[in-house]
Amino acid sequence: MSAMRLPALILAVTLLPAPPALAAWSWSEAARPYKGTTVHVRIPTHPSTRATAPLIKEFEQATGITVSYNNQMVSRDLIAKQDIELATGAVAYDVMFISDAAARIAKAGWAEPLDKYIANPRLTAPDFNREDFVPTFLKMLSPRDRLIGLPYTGESTILYYRTDIFEQHGIKRPPDTLEELEAVAQKIHSAEVPAWAVRARRGQGVNIFIWSQWLWSYGGRYFDDKTRPVLNSPEAVKATEKFTELLRKYGPKGVEDITHHDIVYSQFSQGRLAMFIDASVWVGVFNDPTKSKVLGKWSTALVPKGPAGRFPAVAAQGMMIPTAAKNKEAAWLFIQWFTSRDTQWKRAVKVEGEKSGDVTRQSVYKDPEYRKVYGGQNWIESTFEDARVARIDYRPMHLPEWVQIGDLLGIAVQDVIAGKRGARDALDEANQKITDLMGERGGSRESLEPGADALIPFGNAIR
C-alpha cells in the first residue's frame, strides 16, 4: 500500500458510524420475556423472610412478574415435605429452600447450578457482585465449589444476656466458659426471672440445634472416622448431663417443652429471662419497641467455650432453583432481587415493624445506617466472630438420614431434661436406633464428607 493512499483509508475508517450504545440494564427489560409469569416460592418463615415480604410488591411492579409467597411454614415441616417433592419430581415451586443440606441436594441433582445464570448479562444486573456475599455463607451453598443457592440470611449462635440484671449482681462481663455460665446462672436465678433457657423441645432443629454445642464442647462427636455413631460415648453422656442440669436448675417452669419462639417472644423480650443461647437473628425483636420490654437492657457475647473449645453453630439459609422448576429464568430474577444489596438493606433498615439484620451482603454490614441500627449490644462482633470459628458439620445435615437422626436424639435429650431417663440410658437407646437406621452407610468414610471443608475461614472482610 502506498503512502499516498494511507491517510484516505484512515479517514474512511474514522468516518464509519459508531456502534449503538448498549442499553442500560433494568429489571423491567430483563423481565420483559417473563411478564405475566407467576413465580411460586417455598421458603421457611423466618425474621428475614417476614421482613422482606412487604418489599415484594416492588419486585412485582418493576418486573411484571407475580410472586406466590404466602405458603411459608416452619423449617422442620418444610424440609421434610420438600425432600419428598424433590425426590419424586413432583415439584410445584420455582424457588425452594436450601441450607445446610446443600451437599446432599447437589449430589441428588435437585438444584440448578447458578453460574450460567450469573454469567448471562441479559438476566443478571451489572452490580450483582458475587464477591459481596459473606464468604462463609456463600460457600455453605457451594458444595465442592459448585454454587447452587444464594444466601438471604446468615447466622451464628450467640449468647444473649440482660445487662441490667448483670449490673444488679455486680457481674462485670458475660461468661466466657460453660463453668462461668453455670456460676452466673446460680447467682442471678430467681423464680420471677429464671436465669437460663435454650430450645428444649424434641427435634433436630429444636433442642439438638443447641445441644450439639455441648456435645462438641465436652469432646463428643456424632460419628467416629468410619461414620459409626458414637452418641453414647462418655463425652456425649457428660455433655447431655451438663446441658440438662443447667435447664432443670435454672430454667422456667415447663422448660422441657420450651422452643426458641417461646424464649424470644414470651420470655426474654418480655423481661422474664436473664440469659439464653440461640441464633443471632433475634436482634430486630429485642430492639422493636412494639415487641420488647428490654430496650437498652440487653447485650450479646460469644457462646461460652467448654473443655474442648468454643463451638457455635453457623447457618446460611438460601434460595435455589429446582431442576424441575417451570419458570427458571423468572425464578433467577426473583432470587437475584431477594438477595441483592438493595433489598437486604431495606429489610434491615427501612421496613416498618420487625426488621431483620441477619443479612449476607458485606456492603450492608459496612453501611453507616445499618451500623446505626445494629451497632449496639456487641451484636455484629458476636455474630461474626462466632461465625468465623464455627464448623460446617456442627450438625451433619448433609446426611440423607439427618432428620431422623436428629429427631431420635431430640427425643432422648428431651426425656433426660424431663427426668424420664438418665443420659446414659437415653443415649444408648438413641445410638442403637441411629446405628440401625444408617445400616450399611455406617462405616462409610464418604458419608462423613459434607462437600466442603468442615472448618470454613470467615475472612476479615467485615471484622
pLDDT over 60 at 11, yes or no:
no
Q: Give CA–CA dist 269/289, Å, rounded.
A: 10
Position 450 scores a pLDDT of 54
Give the pLDDT mean for 21-45. 91
| Amino acid at position 341, single letter | R
Please give the pLDDT value at position 451: 44
Contact (Cβ atoms closer than 8 angstroms) between residue 183 and residue 250: no
For residue 2, the model assigns a pLDDT of 42
As its CATH architecture, domain 155-314+385-448 has: 3-Layer(aba) Sandwich (3.40)
Which pLDDT does position 71 carry in this prediction? 67
Counting beta carbons within 10 angstroms of the beta carbon of residue 418, is it exposed (0 to 12), middle (13 to 18) or buried (19 or more)? middle
Name residue, grid cell 483509508: 9
pLDDT > 60? residue 12: no
**What residues have CB less than 8 Å from 205, skipping those under 6 apart?**
75, 76, 406
Residue 445: predicted pLDDT = 53
Domains 32-153+315-374 and 155-314+385-448 share a fold: yes
Report the relative pairing of strands 314-320 and 96-98 from DSSP bridges: antiparallel
454: DSSP letter: S
Question: pLDDT digit string (tens) for 410-438?
Answer: 999 999 999 999 999 999 999 999 999 99
- Which position has the higher pLDDT, 178 or 288? 178
* Between residues 215 and 45, the one the model is more confident about: 215
Cα–Cα distance, 234 to 131 (Å, whole number): 44
Class of domain 32-153+315-374 as given by CATH: alpha beta
Over range 19-39, report the average pLDDT: 85
Least confident residue range of 18-22, 188-192, 393-397: 18-22
DSSP state of 147: -
Q: Is 331 exposed, middle or buried (0-12, 13-18, 19+ CB in 10 A)?
A: buried
Q: How far apart are CA 97 and CA 319, in angstroms?
A: 5
Q: Which of 98, 94, 444, 160 is nearest to 298 (CA)?
A: 160
Given this model, what pLDDT does residue 226 score?
Answer: 86
Per the DSSP assignment, residues forming a β-bridge with 98 are 318
- Alpha helix (H) residue ranges in 141-274: 163-168, 178-188, 207-217, 234-250, 260-261
Cell, residue 264: 424470644
Percentage of the chain lying above the pLDDT 90 cut: 73
**pLDDT above 70 covers what percent of the chain?**
90
Assigned C-alpha cell, 373 = 441500627
pLDDT at 391: 85
Specify the pLDDT at position 84. 87
Q: pLDDT value at position 134?
A: 87
Q: For residue 129, what is its C-alpha cell?
A: 457482585
* 3-class DSSP assignment, residue 196: strand
Averaged pLDDT, 362-382: 93
The grid cell for 375 is 451497632
End-to-end CA distance of the chain: 63
Which candidate, 219, 217, 206, places its Cα nearest to that of 409? 206
- In 3D space, the residue among 137, 46, 129, 56 whose CA is nearest the CA of residue 99 turns out to be 137
Residues 6+ apart with CB under 8 A from 178: 214, 217, 242, 304, 305, 306
**Residue in 299, 206, 286 with CA at minimum distance from that of residue 197:** 206
Q: Per-residue pLDDT averaged across 169-179, rounded?
A: 98
Burial class (CB in 10 A: 0-12, 13-18, 19+), 249: middle
- At 80, the pLDDT band (50, 70, 90 cuts) reads confident
The distance of Cα 302 from the centroid of its chain, to the nearest Å, equals: 17
pLDDT for 116-158, tens place per residue? 999 999 999 999 999 999 888 998 999 888 999 999 999 999 9
Decide if pLDDT at 395 tops 80. yes
| pLDDT of amino acid 103 | 86
**Separation of alpha carbons 45 and 68, rounded Å:** 14
Burial 266-284 (b: 16+ CB within 10 A, else e): ebbbebbbbbbbbbbbbbb
**pTM score:** 0.80
Could you count the other beta carbons within 10 Å of the beta carbon of residue 413? 30
User: How many CB atoms within 10 Å of residue 448?
Assistant: 17
Angle at 234 between CA 232 and CA 236, to 5 degrees: 55
Contact of 358 with 158, CB cutoff 8 Å: no
β-pairing verdict for 196-197 and 38-40: unpaired
In total, the chain counts a number of residues equal to 463
Where are the chain's structural domains?
A: 32-153+315-374, 155-314+385-448
Higher pLDDT, 281 or 337: 337
Confidence of residue 444 (pLDDT cuts 50, 70, 90): low
